[in-house]
């Protein structure tokens, strides 16, 4: 009888702890939930990329031609010279190229139109530090603010100058607890 009573008490203890509220979250659990979310839904910055028949004549356009040549060397675009009006010892030379995207650029192209594309210039990855701030709003909701570092893509040189102001961004994610999935990022 004593063994049966002990077994019953032990079973009741396991049942009580098994049914306890699992909605307690720590900073590392919150960071893991956001890491899982970022693996499925990556964060990135985009910029406009022009292609097709392009003429490079001024000094600023020649700087852009250098960027296009670097992208061609990386295999992301293909440059075919169409016309070259080179004037001897003059700054008025004009170069016309047919610029096209290659298959290697496909993972970085978000949208594509006839003569322009939207490309990823920076991708955000979770910084190695701890969360900037962590707050339990209620028993089933939490907020975590993390620092994401910018990782440049090969298209980064075409980014707007405003995008180059920092190497990180702080972003707040709202987490929600569900009994089926545990803690996850709320969209």
**For the residues 12-41, what does the mean pLDDT come to?**
68
Cβ contacts of residue 108 below 8 Å, gap of 6+? 76, 119, 120, 153, 154, 155
**For the residues 32-52, what does the mean pLDDT come to?**
90
Q: How many Å apart are CA 115 and CA 32, to the nearest integer? A: 41
**Burial annotation 133-158 (CB, 10 A radius, 16+ → b, else e):** ebebeeeebbbbebbbbbebbbbbbb
pLDDT tens-digit readout, 73-123? 999 999 998 877 766 656 667 888 999 999 999 999 999 998 999 999 999
Count CB atoms within 10 A of the CB of residue 32: 14
pLDDT tens-digit readout, 120-154? 999 998 887 766 677 877 778 888 888 889 999 99
Token pair, residue 164, equals 């180059």
Token pair, residue 120, equals 């990823």
Q: How many Å apart are CA 154 and CA 72, to the nearest integer? A: 11
Angle at 165 between CA 37 and CA 143, to 5 degrees: 30
Angle at 110 between CA 128 and CA 144, to 5 degrees: 30
What's the pLDDT band for 9 if we cut at 50, 70, 90? very low
Is there a contact between 76 and 105 (Cβ–Cβ < 8 Å)?
yes
């Amino acid at each position: 009888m004593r063994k049966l009573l002990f077994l019953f008490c032990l079973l009741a203890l396991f049942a009580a702890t098994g049914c306890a509220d699992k909605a307690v979250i720590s900073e590392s659990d919150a960071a893991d939930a956001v890491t899982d979310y970022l693996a499925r839904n990556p964060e990135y910055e985009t910029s406009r990329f022009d292609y097709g028949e392009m003429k490079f004549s001024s000094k600023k356009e020649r700087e852009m031609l250098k960027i296009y040549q670097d992208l061609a060397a990386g295999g992301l675009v293909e440059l075919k010279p169409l016309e070259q009006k080179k004037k001897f010892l003059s700054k008025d030379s004009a170069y016309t190229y047919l610029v096209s995207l290659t298959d290697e650029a496909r993972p970085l192209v978000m949208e594509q139109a006839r003569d322009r594309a939207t490309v990823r210039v920076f991708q955000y990855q979770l910084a190695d530090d701890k969360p900037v701030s962590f707050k339990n709003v209620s028993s089933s909701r939490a907020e975590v603010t993390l620092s994401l570092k910018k990782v440049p893509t090969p298209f980064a040189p075409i980014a707007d100058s405003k995008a180059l102001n920092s190497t990180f961004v702080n972003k707040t994610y709202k987490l929600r607890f569900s009994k089926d999935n545990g803690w996850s990022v709320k969209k």
